[in-house]
Structure 1
Amino acid sequence: MALERYFYRYGKATFSLFLINLAVYTVESILSGNPIRISPNVLLLFGQWNYAVLHYGWWWQLFTAMFVHVSILHIAFNMYFLIVMGSQLEHVIGPKRLTMVYLVSGLFGNILTLLFLPPNTVSAGASGALFGIAGTLIVMMGVIGGNMQAALINAFFLFIINSILPGVNAYAHMGGLLVGIAIGYYYGKRIRRRMALAYGYGYY
């Protein structure tokens, strides 16, 4: 019953993704023998090691990496933003679409990582997927409110603020955000069109 309350409060998809990330981190911690910081060997296996993707055919890492985190602080910050932003977006577009945004954004961010970072790069984290959620939410609200310029400026500053620190995978952030902007624009237009039809005002 306690879990059902959280599914209702935060949304089925958001809270399910939250639990999946926690479960993966628990496995990482057990294999690493350390719940605070994950060992490099575990990250090579479950994160995205570009060399393994390109030369060993480990393409599945493009998906698993978006559920893998490198430390307790890493997952704590990411899961906080998942709960905050994911629940807001899910209440607007629904659980299936929220899951789609997470997966497609995370995948595109990881593909950019593969294309633009060196083969010895090892990356992990839900940040690309979360930037997709944030981009979708920001731009969708901008389209509905008729202020796309402000929405794009907000998305740009979100990217800059969260991508200038050393060790941060800016390509994953950028890929996720670009996908989120595109999805947010699409759903924002749909919602605004429905509002126009429902309330009988002109839509352009």
Structure 2
Amino acid sequence: MFLRTENVQTFVRLYPTVSSIIVTHVICWTFFSIETTFANFLLEKLIGINVYIRMGEYWRLFTPLFLHLHFGHMMINSLSLILFGPALEKMLGTCKFIIVYIWSGTFANVATLFFLPPLYSHLGASSAIFGLFGVYIYLIIIHKNIIDRRHAQIIITSLCIGIVMTVTNPNINTIAHTFGFLGGATIAPFIASRRNPYAI
């Protein structure tokens, strides 16, 4: 389920949505890391800044999901997506996976808007990835036949590690991670089929 044995070509063919998101991560990070005047201007227009969202720049609730400040930040999120995204994309299908990913990240950014200061700024895919865990936990609790015990333990352990990292790192948006997870968990009943053919 989480052990990747495919080559790059096969991975892209089997998991086009996950692959597209990762490619977007890399392209965006590469472009904005150049730090040209235009790149800096565009980044300023795309990152989540609460005060500007309140002024009507609502695209900032969505665009931060594909932006990362540092290479390490981008790599951790992309690797997490490589590990935990494919199985869920296979189970849900492309459209439902995209809905979960975007909904979880946007839900988290809306929570950030309401609970954090006006000048707070944020970017990163972590909240959307926590949304994937929200769906996994829903499946583990409600549809026990879909995910076997061994893989359920891996998911729960990985989530616990993510929670510990969230609460111990002062630079992490705890609100976004929490509400990203809740976003995935709350939408899961509407998109996770009880008759899923991909029991794992």
SS in 2 for 1:60: helix
Q: Which amino acid aligns with 2:173?
A: N
What's the counterpart of residue 60 of structure 1?
59
Q: Which residue of 1 aligns with 2:31?
A: 27
Give the Cα separation in 1 of the matches to 2:180 and 2:67.
16
C-alpha deviation, 1:42, in angstroms: 6.0
Matching of residues 7-86 of structure 1 within 5 Å: 7-9=12-14, 11-30=15-34, 32=35, 43-55=43-55, 57-86=56-85
CA contact (8 A) 1:104 1:179 kept: yes
Matching residue of 1:114: 113
User: How far apart, in 1, do the equivalents of 2:175 and 2:74 lie?
Assistant: 19
| Contact in 1 for aligned 2:133/2:159 (Cα 8 Å) | no
Mapped partners of 2:11, 2:164: distance in 1: 30
Q: Distance in 1 between matches of 2:23 and 2:159?
A: 29
Equivalent in the alignment of 1:200 = none
Bigger Cα Rg: 1
CA drift of 1:163 comes to 1.6
Could you tell me how far apart the structure 2 residues matched to 1:126 and 1:90 are?
16
The Cα shift of 1:4 comes to 4.2
Query: CA contact under 8 A between 2:133 and 2:184: conserved in structure 1?
Result: yes
Please tell me the residue identity of whatever aligns with 1:47. Answer: I
Q: Which fold has the larger relative contact order, with Cα–Cα distance below 8 Å and residues 6 or more apart in sequence?
A: 2
2:183 pairs, out of 176, 179, 185, with 179
Please tell me whether residue 163 in structure 1 is matched to residue 166 in structure 2. Answer: yes
**Residue type of the alignment partner of 1:13:** T
TM-score, scaled relative to structure 2? 0.79
Partner of 2:95: 96
Which whole-Å deviations, capped at 9, do the CAs of 1:115-142 have from their partners, x for residues lacking one?
Answer: 1110111100001100001111222133
> What is aligned with 1:199?
none
Q: CA deviation at 1:96?
A: 1.1
Which one-letter code corresponds to 1:7 in the other structure? V
- How many residue pairs match? The answer is 180
Give 1:5's match in structure 2, choosing from 10, 14, 35.
10
Q: CA deviation at 1:187?
A: 4.6
- Structure 1 length-normalised TM: 0.77
Q: CA deviation at 1:186?
A: 4.2
Structure 1 segments (4+ residues) deviating >6 Å: none
Is the Cα–Cα contact under 8 Å of residues 131 and 177 in structure 1 kept in the other structure?
yes
CA contact (8 A) 1:101 1:180 kept: yes
Of all paired residues, the percent bearing the same amino acid is: 29
RMSD of Structure 2 on Structure 1 (CA): 2.8
Matched residue of 1:69: which SS?
Answer: coil
Counterparts of 2:165 and 2:85, CA distance in 1: 18
